[in-house]
Amino acid sequence: MAPSKIESSHLPSTQCLNIKPIKDSGDDDHLLHRSFIDPPALVERAEGVNLFLSDGRKVIDACAGAAVALIGHGNKEVHQAIINQLQKVSYVHTQSYTTQPAEDLANLILRGSPHGLEKAFFVGSGSEAVESALKLARQYYFEKNQLERLHIVSRRQGYHGNTMTTMSISGNLARKIPFEGFSYPHTSQVSPAFAYRNMRDDETEIEYTARLLQELEDEFLRVGPYKVMAFIAEPVAGSGIGSVTPPAGYLAGVRALCDKYGILLIFDEIMCGVGRTGSFFAFEQEGDVVPDIMTIAKGLGGGYAPISGVLVHKRVIDVLRHGSKAFNHGHTYQAHPTSCAAALAVQRIVLRDGLIARCAAMGKILESILRTELQDCWSVGDIRGRGLFWTVEFVKNKETKETFDPSVHFGVRVQQAAFNKGVALYPCSGTVDGKKGDHLMLAPPFIITDEELRTVCKVLREAIEFQQQLYS
């Protein structure tokens, strides 16, 4: 498909649909924003769960940016940890040096090698983490002399990053269109584990799980199991389809299939991990299921510094340990001391204050308020999630689950109406197939209060009702 066929309704939206003219090139504004016609709001300061805009408005950050700010904004304890580190050492190159915050952060996260995860590799973004995980998977098979294993199987509508390889295995069609023919070729995709949209009326949850697993095994066999390097999935789906938890037995079945054919299992917990779903690792709530490699990011540094991580199981590390004795990969800002110091302070606060348990408890409150507030909204097709990671999916018809035409921008317009009332939410489109469907995500900081949750849900209801009236 030619780039000229990109539809604006499929592009990632920013804060609003209030179209403004592009500024003349002679202006002094030189920062390249995501959109030329949709300028972002200017935030002057942020504190707790609130953003304070340059026009004087206060906005509740009910999505923690992009499910990032898990301890909220403006935490002075984290600020001081960053300052302390800057006063010691702001940067070293990891080819020759390490720093205490990097060592301490890895030891804090992997104390006791939970689930057999033995080593942590820190980089700067979720995309970098997934790219690093994929390179590690390839090196693993290279050192085992299984050179044909180049193929990566992922799921449609999954999202794994914006670099070329990570985008190649992702399902965000709008972001991929301009780069067709410029991507990693050894990929294929299977169906997402998305019961609301894809489970048939005549099958049970167990039968649906079996169907998904059969599709995955069929894909392994079609490609040739000896050619498949890894299967990658989000244990709880992120922005692509919105906070979808897997059906019973699905992840355990995936693990069994990967073991059967000697394929590495990679869990992408960039968005759903680090406590966001009510346990530090999202996969922990799915029984005895352990990945070979996994990625974490957003909540790791809580937004105080760019940082992500790759966590690696002992069985993968052992191959490198007894082979080349090195990971053939690295970044200039790998394990950046200031970023690691910030993340270490964030994670110490999370542990000390019991914020993951609080996230799980507040998540149940959020679910209850959401279901009560939105029960009479005819455009709400599904409410789903876990912990403080919830999604509202919109439909034109509840019975048929028909979507709004993408040109309506229903979800984005609801988001804008809520933003105008002082609540920031995370709008997404292409829910059903990458083109059709709208949903909004709620992923507030773990420190949010009952009262603030009630305000968020009340404003969301009012925004939905306002858009319903306009549509009717």
Residue matched to tokens 């990945």: 291
- The second-level CATH assignment, the architecture, of 76-352 is 3-Layer(aba) Sandwich (3.40)
Q: How would you write the pLDDT of the chain (472 residues) with one tens digit per residue?
A: 333 333 333 344 433 344 333 444 446 789 999 888 888 999 999 999 999 999 999 999 999 999 999 999 999 999 999 999 999 999 999 999 999 999 999 999 999 999 999 999 999 999 999 999 999 999 999 999 999 999 999 999 999 999 999 999 998 777 788 888 888 999 999 999 999 999 999 999 999 999 999 999 999 999 999 999 999 999 999 999 999 999 999 999 999 999 999 999 999 999 999 999 999 999 999 999 999 999 999 999 999 999 999 999 999 999 999 999 999 999 999 999 999 999 999 999 999 999 999 999 999 999 999 999 999 999 999 999 999 999 999 999 999 999 999 999 999 999 999 999 999 999 999 999 989 999 999 999 999 999 999 999 999 999 999 999 988 7
Q: How far apart are CA 336 and CA 346, in angstroms?
A: 15
- The second-level CATH assignment, the architecture, of 16-74+355-471 is Alpha-Beta Complex (3.90)
pTM here?
0.93
Domain ranges of the chain: 16-74+355-471, 76-352
